[in-house]
Structure 1
Amino acid sequence: MPAFWHSSHRELQHLTQDKGDQLLAVWLLPLLCLLVGWIFSAGQPERLPMAVLDQDQSALSRQLIRLVDAGPGVEVALQLQDSKAAADALRQRQVYAVLVLPQGLEQRIYQGQSSELVLNLNSQYTTYASTLQRGIRQALMTAGVAIGLDRLERQGLSAEASLSTLLPVQVLATPLFNEGPSYEVFLAATLIPALFQILAMVVTVSAIGRELRDGTAMAWRATASGSVLLALSSKLLPYFVLLAAYAGGYVWFFHQYIPASYTGSALLIWVSLLLMIAAAMAVALLLIALTRNFRMALSLAGFYSAPAFAYSGQAFPLVAMPDFAQYWASILPLTHWLKIYNQQWLAAAPLSAVGASWSVLAAMLLCTSLAGYLLLKRSAFNPASWGAR
């Protein structure tokens, strides 16, 4: 144990002296987490700009514009006079949708005829388009039902009978999890663990790789009484403890800040996050042991972990991806942690439902750490492996 603590003290002393590694290991992760939280702090997209081309210029068209503008996700930023101006506003991204109210709209409606409104959407931005489309349709459906009810009541039907006539079949949609829906729960709370995975791998490669790069591997091993296992565990422990503390802060914040969205066990999700972090560090250990080259291992760690969120199935359905993408997702610790996040923390699924994800993370940790340890023990302390930058 004295050798273990002596070796850990050597690593801590390096962190106090090297400001670059200190920024990487201590300050970068909380700064990035705060940035991500701030970006998605609104919860939902609000006041997305759209334009209206009112060719009718009637009391009804103006009422419809006011209803659309009153929606929380929509803002009527421009009222245009011709279709060319509408097309230019879309191309210049001044607005992301244009609603066209055709000439004669009010007259046809009050004559009992139907009328079509044209909604042009910029679908290059799917979140913008879906939010605007949902808000506009909801406002226009409300207006349409109100007009229809008024028309039927004038014919002598009661309000209840009129509503049944207008909407004979209705869908009652009940969101079960992330009822908001909140982008903090959907994106911010899932992007931050992706940062944990990236930083866990980078600091692991950096901590071990610099010993090989600078030719100090033998001195590092000597502080741990010659034991490679002791040298590795004592070097990586400070980083794991620091990441574990940040992980605890992450879980506590979301559990306290958005309590209605999280019905599962905060303790279980924290322990699962620690397992994911440990698995990511083990993969990084294997990379540096395989390459014995600081720059190459760092590049591979970035290639492996940086796009992990895109392959995880959180933003795009995993089952809709090609087979290779699904295989790639299966070897990423983040993918399996996100299953635990969605199943247990959001949906309060029983432990049996997340047991498979736990098993995969544990197997990933054991296999990669064992392979990395054996490779590092066999070749990394050979002077021929030193100096590769």
Structure 2
Amino acid sequence: MQAMGHIILREWKRILRLPVFYIVMLVIPGLLFSFYALIYQQRDARNLAFAIWDEDQSPLSRQLIFLLQQRETLQITRRVGTEAEVKQLIQNGVILGAVHFPANMQKDIYSRHQAHVTLYTNAASLVPAKLIYKAVAEVVIMGSSGVVLQKLVKTGMKADRAMALANPVKLNSYQLYNASYNYQEYLVPGLITVGIQMILIISSMLALNYEWKTNTMQELYGLAKGSALLVITAKTIAHLVFSWVNFILIAFVLFPWFGIGVPVATGKFFLMYTLLSVACIGIGMFISALFKDVMLSGDVALFYTSPAFVFSGFTFPRWAMPWYDQYYATIMPYTPFLDAFFKVYYMNLPMHYAQADINKLVLFCAVMFPTAILLFQHQFNSSVNEQAA
């Protein structure tokens, strides 16, 4: 225990003294996480530039335009007269969408003919396009129901009966766990936690083989009495403590400052964060024990961690990915962490809902640490034989 304490203190001093450690573990997290939160400071997509192409010029089309103007999602910035003009404005990035009310729309509706309203959106901007569609669809459905309602009332039908016929099925929708489609609330925690995975794997990847680069491996060998188990255990504890420092920064500084997160689920977030941290440290130690060369280890760590956000299923469901991408997602600890994070943090469910994901994170630890110990013990023994020779 005394030797372990010496190695832990020694590792803390190295982290605080060597730029390769303190920049990655202490400086970059605060800057990077704040930058992520500031990107989505607006929180949700509002006032999306939108154009009107009104060939009908009727009281009905003016009423629909008025209703569109009341939508926070849309900001009507242009009036256009042709389809070519709509496409040109979208291509130039001036607008994100437009709606076309055809000539004789009101006349066709009143004469019981179907009218065709056309919506143009820039689907290259996927989320804004969906928000525009949602806003316009609600207005058009509301407007068409209103026309039918007026016609029925004019025939002498009672208002409640007319309403039942004009709108026979009423849809009640409830958006759970991100009702306002808040970018900051939804994306920032995900970006921060995937950043934590990368930071922890890279910093712990340097924990062992950087000793060779700084010519301090023999000193470490003497402190540990040649025990790779002692070295990896002590360094894991040292790096885990610094990961908790970043947890404090995330949960008690950044989240409250930007008004995001689910405070009541902070305890469960801490447990999942700790499991992710230990799993990432184990992977970093494994890479460090596998390759003596720091540059090669760094390349491997970056190649392994870089696609984590894409393959995790955060923005696109994993089941819709090719099987080889799904397989790649399973060999990253961020994937089960993210599944558990949604359940116990966003949804604030009990921990047993995430039991399968917890088991996967524990499996990472159970495989990576023993393998890293065996590989590093071989490095230790080899270094002694080289010194003796």
Q: How much has 1:275 moved relative to structure 2?
A: 0.5
Q: Residues 251 and 183 (structure 1 numbering): CA distance in 2 closer, same or farther, change over 3 Å? A: same
Contact 1:218 1:381 in 2 (8 A): no
Q: Deviations over 1:22-75 (max 9, x none)?
A: 221101112211122222333321112222222233443333223213212222
Distance in structure 2 (CA, Å) of the matches to 1:385 and 1:275: 37
User: Aligned in 2, Cα 1:344/1:248: closer, same or farther, shift over 3 Å?
Assistant: same
- CA shift in 2, pair 1:237/1:257, >3 Å: same
Q: Determine the structure 1 residue equivalent to 2:37.
A: 37
Aligned residues of 2:53 and 2:80 also touching (Cα < 8 A): yes
User: How many Å separate the matches in 1 of 2:95 and 2:373?
Assistant: 56
Partners of 2:385 and 2:226 in 1: how far apart? 18
Q: How many residues align?
A: 386
Contact kept in structure 1, 2:287 and 2:301, CA below 8 Å: yes
Q: Is the 8 A contact 1:282 1:365 kept in 2?
A: yes
Shift of 1:366: 1.8
1:182 & 1:212 partners in 2: Cα distance? 47
- Aligned residue for 2:156? 156
The 1-side partners of 2:169 and 2:202 are apart by: 55
CA distance in 2: counterparts of 1:337 and 1:385, whole angstroms: 41
- 1:125 and 2:125 correspond: yes
Q: TM-score, normalised by structure 2?
A: 0.89
2:22 alignment counterpart: 22
Q: 1:249, 1:188 → 2: CA distance?
A: 14
1:312–1:338: 8 Å Cα contact kept in structure 2? yes
Between the aligned partners of 1:334 and 1:92, the Cα distance in structure 2 is 38
Structure 2 SS opposite 1:76: strand
Aligned partners of 1:276 and 1:385: how far apart in 2?
Answer: 36
Describe the superposition over 1:174-228 as per-residue Cα deviations: whole angstroms up to 9, x where unpaired. Answer: 3343333433343222221111111110111123232223433222333444433
2:211 match: 211
Q: Does 1:368 align with 2:368?
A: yes
Residue 340 of structure 2 is matched in structure 1 by 340
Map 1:117-266; keep pairs closer than 5 Å. 117-252=117-252, 262=262, 265-266=265-266
- The one-letter code sitting in structure 2 at the alignment partner of 1:153 is V
**Aligned Cα root-mean-square deviation (Å):** 2.8
Q: 8 Å contact 2:7–2:235 — kept in the other structure?
A: yes
- Give the stretch that moved more between structures: 343-352 or 328-337: 343-352
Give the equivalent residue in structure 2 for 1:294.
Answer: 294
Report the alpha carbon displacement of residue 271 of structure 1 after superposing the two structures with TM.
0.8
Q: CA deviation at 1:111?
A: 4.4
Gaps in structure 2 of 5+ consecutive residues: none
Alpha carbons of structure 1 residues 318 and 215: separation in structure 2 relative to 1, 3 Å: same
Contact 1:287/1:297 (8 A) holds in 2: yes
3-state DSSP of counterpart to 2:56: coil
The one-letter code of the counterpart of 1:299 is: D
Indicate the SS of the match to 2:175: coil
- CA distance 1:260–1:207, shift in 2 (3 Å): closer
When residues 84 and 179 of structure 1 are mapped into structure 2, their CA distance, relative to the original with a 3 A threshold, is: closer
Counterpart CA distance in 2 for 1:25 and 1:262 is 25
SS of the counterpart of 2:168?
coil
What is the distance in 1 between the residues matched to 2:259 and 2:17?
41
Structure-2 separation of matches of 1:237 and 1:23: 19
Other-structure match for 1:316: 316
Once the two structures are superposed, residues 313-371 of structure 1 have per-residue CA deviations (whole angstroms, 9 ceiling, x without a partner) of 22111222222222211221111111212222233434332211111111111210110
Cα deviation code 1:156-184 (max 9, x no counterpart): 12222122112222332233433334333
CA contact (8 A) 1:177 1:261 kept: no
Please state how far the C-alpha of 1:381 moved relative to its aligned partner.
Answer: 6.2
Task: Using the TM superposition, give the Cα deviation of residue 279 of structure 1 relative to its aligned residue in structure 2, in angstroms.
Answer: 0.2
Return the alpha-carbon distance in structure 1 between the equivalents of residues 176 and 257 of structure 2.
19
Match of 1:70 in 2: 70
Normalising by structure 1, we get a TM-score of 0.89
Contact 1:148–1:166, Cα closer than 8 Å, also in 2: yes
Amino acid at match of 1:240: L
Distance 1:260 1:34 in 2: 12
Q: C-alpha displacement at 1:13, in angstroms? A: 3.1
Decide whether aligned partners of structure 1 residues 376 and 187 sit closer, same or farther in structure 2, where only a CA change above 3 A counts.
same
Q: Tell me if the contact between 1:178 and 1:261 (Cα under 8 Å) persists in the aligned partners.
A: no
Name the amino acid aligned to 2:188. Answer: A
Distance 1:116 1:384, change over 3 A: farther
Q: CA–CA distance in 1 between the matches of 2:246 and 2:16?
A: 19
SS in 1 for 2:93: coil
Q: Which amino acid in the other structure matches residue 345 of structure 2?
A: W
Paired residue type of 1:62? R
Per the alignment, in what secondary structure is the counterpart of residue 283 of structure 1? helix
Deviations along 1:79-135, one digit per CA (max 9) or x if unpaired, are 223222211111112222121122223333444543211111221221121111111
* Contact residue 215 and residue 383 of structure 1 kept, 8 A: no
Would the aligned equivalents of 1:50 and 1:78 in 2 still touch at CA under 8 Å?
yes
Change (3 A) 1:190 1:130: same
Output the CA distance in 2 between the equivalents of 1:214 and 1:261: 41
Q: Distance in 2 between matches of 1:258 and 1:358?
A: 29
Q: 1:259 to 1:29 in 2, by over 3 A?
A: closer
